[in-house]
Amino acid sequence: MFNKIPTSRPDTPLLDTIDDPSDLRQLAPDQLTDLARELRHFLLYSVGQTGGHFGAGLGVIELTIALHYSYNTPIDQLIWDVGHQTYPHKILTGRRERMHTLRQPDGLAPFPSQSESIFDVFGTGHSSTSISAALGIELANKNVGRQSHTVVVIGDGAMTAGMAFEALNHVAACHANLLVILNDNAMSISENVGGLANYFARNISARELDNTGPGKGAFENRDTTPGSIFTDLGFHYTGPVDGHDISVLLENLDALKAHSGPKLLHLITKKGKGYAPAETSPVSSHALTKLEKQSENRETTYSQVFGEWITKKAAIDTRLFAITPAMKEGSGLTEFSEQFPDRFHDVAIAEQHAVTLAAGLATGGAKPVVAIYSTFLQRAFDQLIHDVAIQNLDVMFAVDRASLLEDGPTHSGVFDYSFVRAIPNMVIMSPSNGNVMEQMLDFGFEHSGPCLVRYPRGTAITGVQESTVQLGKAQTCREGKRAAILAFGTTRTISESVAENLDLTLVDMRFVKPLDTELITELAAGHDLLVTIEENAIAGGAGSAVNEYVVSQGLNCELLNIGVPDLFIDQDEPANMRKKVGLTAKDIELKINSRL
């Protein structure tokens, strides 16, 4: 058991010999336990240097070793769901000496990446996609007569999503030769919730680990049938077994390779295994800030602004319900969940259900607030249209992490302006600071119809009290000459120095939809150039909305759109990612000067 993050590289003589899984398969079985300890120690060290997810990786150390030992990877294909459990996999597949580049430019991706390694069979940054992908791979292999095994490792949190069960149903219908490994640790990021989590928990509490007789490491069932849900779906069920006993894992994997058709191996593991603080507090140890940053001052974040607002609002308005898809802590809802448990719903990794549940609550007269990350709102696009917007229901969306993020393209929230503004009846607000955000949340909660407040990850800028939020009205911050900057959201901050240096007009637009068209008309008449700035894709974004209005009205002015280009931006520090796309004050100034 490790009790602290090492600050110097540990001694790992066995691990240092593994540059490829074929090297791993040269070890004797009795060496694998020692390898597991070295791998766990090295993982703690490397994530301490880079930051990143590590609780999930610690929990699959033995499983990762067993899979690469038992299967002939990469000919046999492993798909991991979700990808934040794959750091041990990366270390064993030739990337050990590059782990220090994790989440850095031109370094290792924080999730599986097909472009990074042939061992990363399928990219899995979001959860619950693995079984669908694996079935497609298995069917393609069968079509060309390719002989290989396809294995999925899916966490029990990811199994709560409907997509996983849609795929299980199809696997059984195809009678595909596919092994699904259920990594049952009662955790996704937060504690798992719901009927499926309770089903697993009941079975865990009713069994004890039997280390005495034959079948060492298998769990003894007591009046339970934990696999019935999967056998009824058409899977050959094995388990539950100890996911930290390598000998038991190898025994079961070897046996299952000889069994054709759909198979499910149920493992019991512990998130954060082998690191005492993570075992004690798996939620807070889901991810780690790199050691050199852990002593930095923590300021109020936009998530905390939202959390404080919703808790205060719920105390005075009993209509308010909060819904989140497995993001209670990250969305700032911990205090709300404790004070108002009957009006708090963590629906697990089920974004589609979260949105339609909110639609039902609104239909019943409640005022639901859906707290969701921008990148995950993408998964509920149809429900946003079909269940909320078409019926014009009173649902407010608090959309967090709407910005470039260090985890790269799978998690950066830079498309929500584009896909939400296309939907009739939607109101889209983007606060420039914490004070305006609170006003927008108040406005959105009282607004009749669906609306969205969109904010980035990070420290909430403390702005001065300005004019109150009114539907579709912008705030003019500065009068200038020749050009007017139309800043959306927190891009107002970087625009202020540009406007000062170049003596330009600066407007905090506040609303992406509806736009302040009256002000845009005035600005176009008094300026040669309108410059839109947003931390969202330029394609279809807020700037595009301004362009559409200017063209539709035949206004006589030039337009310059600044935002995220038509590219996926690789992982890096968010400040560096903004530099890459030209979202710095210096870059903006150069672009405006060039156009003028």
Please write the tens of the pLDDT for every residue from 65-84.
Answer: 999 999 999 999 999 997 88
Which run of H or of E encompasses 178?
A: strand 178-184
The full DSSP string for 505-561 is EEEE--EEES--HHHHHHHHHH-SEEEEEEEEESTTSHHHHHHHHHHHHT---EEEE
188 pLDDT above the threshold of 80: no
Rounded percentage of the chain residues whose pLDDT exceeds 70: 90
Query: Do residue 325 and residue 439 come from a single domain?
Result: yes
The dihedral formed by the CA atoms of 275, 280, 285 and 290, expressed in degrees to the nearest 10: -50
Banded pLDDT at 214 (limits 50, 70, 90): very low
Q: Would you state the pLDDT for residue 477?
A: 96
Query: Do residue 118 and residue 217 come from a single domain?
Result: yes
In-domain check, residue 235: yes
Q: Identify the CATH number of the domain in which residue 554 sits.
A: 3.40.50.920
**If you ran DSSP here, which 8-state letter would residue 410 be given?**
G
Query: How far apart are the C-alpha atoms of 98 and 479, rounded to whole Å?
Result: 51
Q: Would you state the pLDDT for residue 25?
A: 97
Domain region containing 507 = 475-595
In tens, the pLDDT along 412-464 reads: 999 999 999 999 999 999 999 999 999 999 999 999 999 999 999 999 988 77
* Contacts (Cβ under 8 Å, ≥6 apart) of 566: 537, 538, 539
In-domain check, residue 231: yes
Query: Do residue 281 and residue 379 come from a single domain?
Result: no
In-domain check, residue 466: no
E strand residue ranges, 408-494: 427-429, 451-454, 475-478, 483-487
Residue 506 neighbours by CB distance under 10 Å: 23
Angle between helices 542-553 and 517-526 (to 10 degrees): 70
Q: Would you state the pLDDT for residue 195?
A: 58
Query: Do residue 493 and residue 521 come from a single domain?
Result: yes
Lowest pLDDT segment from 224-233, 345-354, 431-440, 577-586:
224-233
Residue 276 neighbours by CB distance under 10 Å: 13
Query: Do residue 121 and residue 235 come from a single domain?
Result: yes
In-domain check, residue 400: yes
| Domain-ending residue, one of 242, 264, 292 | 292
Give the residue-averaged pLDDT of 387-404.
Answer: 97
Instruction: Reduce the DSSP state of residue 373 to 3 states and report it.
Output: strand
Query: Do residue 288 and residue 309 come from a single domain?
Result: no
Q: Identify the CATH number of the domain in which residue 105 sits.
A: 3.40.50.970
In tens, the pLDDT along 478-500 reads: 999 999 999 999 999 999 999 99
Is the distance from CB of 396 to CB of 351 less than 8 angstroms? Answer: no
In-domain check, residue 254: yes
| Domain-ending residue, one of 292, 321, 341 | 292
Query: Do residue 36 and residue 125 come from a single domain?
Result: yes
Identify residue 279 by its one-letter amino acid code.
E
Q: Would you state the pLDDT for residue 285?
A: 60
In-domain check, residue 8: no
Q: What is the count of structural domains for the chain?
A: 3
pTM of the model: 0.83
Query: Do residue 319 and residue 276 come from a single domain?
Result: no
In-domain check, residue 462: no
In-domain check, residue 459: no
Query: Do residue 340 and residue 198 come from a single domain?
Result: no
| Domain-ending residue, one of 249, 270, 292 | 292
Query: Do residue 256 and residue 310 come from a single domain?
Result: no
Residue positions annotated with a catalytic role: 271, 351, 379
Query: Do residue 287 and residue 307 come from a single domain?
Result: no
Strands 178-184 and 207-209, how do they pair?
A: unpaired
Query: Do residue 111 and residue 254 come from a single domain?
Result: yes
